[in-house]
Amino acid sequence: MKKRSGISIIMRMIKLVKPLAGFMLLAVFLGVCGFLCAEFITIMGGYAMLDILGFDGTFALGTVFAAVVLLAVFRAAFRCTEQYLNHYIAFTLLALIRGRVFGALRRLCPAKLEGRDKGDLISVITSDIELLEVFYAHTISPVCIAVIMSVIMSVFIGAQNAVLGIIAAFAYICVGAAVPAVIFRISGNTADEFRTQSGQLSAFVLENLRGLDETIQYGAGEKRIDGLKHRADELAVKQEKMSGNMGLNAAITNSAILVFDLVMLFAALAMYNAGAIGFDRAVISVIAMMSSFGPAVALANLGSVLQNTLAAGNRVLDILEETPVTDEITNGADVSFENAEADNVTFAYGDETILDGFSLGIEKGRITGIVGKSGSGKSTFLKLLMRFWETNSGEIRISGTDINTINTRSLRDNESFVTQDTQLFHETVEYNVKIAKPDATRGEVAEACKKAALHDFIMTLPNGYDTQVGELGETLSGGERQRIGLARAFLHDAPLMLLDEPTSNLDSLNEAVILKSLMDKESDKTVVLVSHRPSTMRICDRCYSVENGRMS
């Protein structure tokens, strides 16, 4: 996770408000009006008391009562509208941020997401983004309101007496800025650690749910539960520390307010005794001070709450600002498939070299086989053809054009890629096949499934093509899931088919049906076939052997 300062995170998050800046300004204006109404209800009470005591008050008693009623009505209206606008801004921005996060994940996938804990990603997309509601609904607007109200009330109290106005300004600065800054510093990295451990716990839970069968089979339940308890206990310690900081924040804030109220009271009394201020002005100054800490308290409470929000924001920004391994090309060339070739390609995952000086030619209309030991780079080469990764050196060309200059959409339209593990969605069989061509008809889907030796099986299901496959296709066998992946490739109908162990989970009969479909393909279809099975490789027109990342 990239380390950013709190100010840096705040500035980046504020930039996201730009589309709703007008609503935010209106919310701040209404918030200021609402607090003014609330505070002047109390101040008008002070004027009423002065009138009752026989002092020449600024307002008559009847005027005060009428003003209080109006202020109360306006306070309710302003407060309600401000809260509505703040939450409208917050939840609209959360929707926009989720859209941007999903867009970022699409750009980063698959290279930057390989090996990333899916549970941790789910935690970012759900709970971390949800925490940003605190920032957008209860941070930006309250900070602006607190600053404006502090200035207004300092000026109002200063109009009664300059010294008392300075005391008020100092009090607002201490309560609204100094206290949250101290608590923020005391909290340290607790919130960052809490959000990170929360994501790790989510990943651990998801991992255990998916591996429940194996856990039961091998009697590893107690060990997995111990691991869960250990992570939960660590998280509880961080939560307890954060709760303690919140309590400390509240204690310091309330103590500071009490101290400053007493300072204002004794200062006003001293000035009255010295004849520097009248009794009415002294009373109004004290009442105004005691009733005006609401905005500053809201700001003070951010000292403990904001750190957790910033930690969540930092994790979201990590995804939004992550640089993809391969950028989507939109201003390059569109191509029609004629052939493909790898020319002296070298590629490494980090410091581990997978392909070294790798060269290979793929002829149109032919079936090209690639064999080799596990880890020799066969699957990696297919991913490079798809441009999921970029080569470190050398070129891969489609129809004589470097794939790094081909529009990404055009490249993927020319290729169908069947991986060893087929990812299925919690949807119907038809939906899962139509991922390859969303506007396909039922007839086209059925034809693709026949080529993948899947149609007859589908017709035995309770609802045929409308049968739900369950989460991750859990209601289907490994072979059935693999055949759905093949059906997608047939439906996509791209001129170049990249098949990575396409029959590894199939019995001999279904393998024969699929291989026959590949042999009976149209003449303009080209196949690159990776497999360990000798029976599968017999259909290849040409077969290459890869060893230690080199052609042999």
pLDDT in tens, 500-521: 887 777 777 777 777 777 777 6
Q: Check pLDDT > 70 for residue 4.
A: no
Of the ranges 143-147, 186-190, 316-320, the best mean pLDDT one: 143-147
Which residue is it, tokens 């800054």? 181
Coil/strand/helix, residue 153? helix
What's the average model confidence in pLDDT over 289-315?
A: 78
Cβ-based neighbours of 151, under 8 Å, separated by 6 or more? none
What is the pLDDT confidence band of residue 356, given thresholds at 50, 70 and 90? confident
What is the pLDDT confidence band of residue 269, given thresholds at 50, 70 and 90? very high
pLDDT at 264: 92
Separation of CA 112 from chain center: 15
pLDDT at 482: 83
End-to-end CA distance of the chain: 42
**Domains recognised in the chain with CATH numbers:** 6-320 (1.20.1560.10), 339-551 (3.40.50.300)
Does a cis peptide bond (omega within 30 degrees of 0) precede residue 534?
no
Task: Tell me the per-residue pLDDT of 228-260, one tens digit each, with 9 for 90 and over.
Answer: 888 888 888 888 887 887 788 888 888 988 999
Task: Tell me the per-residue pLDDT of 156-193, one tens digit each, with 9 for 90 and over.
Answer: 999 988 999 999 999 999 988 888 888 777 776 777 77
Please state whether beta strands 352-363 and 339-349 pair in parallel, antiparallel, or not at all (unpaired).
antiparallel
27 versus 50: which is more confidently predicted? 27
62 versus 237: which is more confidently predicted? 237
Per cent of the chain over pLDDT 90 is 14
Kindly report the average pLDDT of the chain as a whole number: 84
Residue 67 CB-density burial (10 A; 0-12 exposed, 13-18 middle, 19+ buried): middle
Q: Check pLDDT > 90 for residue 81.
A: yes
The single-letter code of the amino acid at 181 is A
Q: Check pLDDT > 60 for residue 1.
A: no
Residue 90 CB-density burial (10 A; 0-12 exposed, 13-18 middle, 19+ buried): buried
481 versus 217: which is more confidently predicted? 481
Query: In degrees rounded to 5, what are phi and psi of residue 313?
Result: -60, -35
Radius of gyration of the chain (CA): 34
Q: Check pLDDT > 80 for residue 267.
A: yes
Coil/strand/helix, residue 158? helix
Of the ranges 109-118, 119-128, 198-207, 249-258, the best mean pLDDT one: 249-258
**DSSP strands (E only) in 211-349:** 339-349
pLDDT at 30: 93
Query: In degrees rounded to 5, what are phi and psi of residue 523?
Result: -65, -20
Exposure string over 214-247, b if 16+ CB within 10 A, otherwise e: ebeeeeeeeebeeeeeebeeebeebeebbeebbe
pLDDT at 263: 93
pLDDT at 83: 87
What is the pLDDT confidence band of residue 401, given thresholds at 50, 70 and 90? very high
Cβ-based neighbours of 211, under 8 Å, separated by 6 or more? none
What's the average model confidence in pLDDT over 221-234?
A: 86
What is the pLDDT confidence band of residue 332, given thresholds at 50, 70 and 90? confident
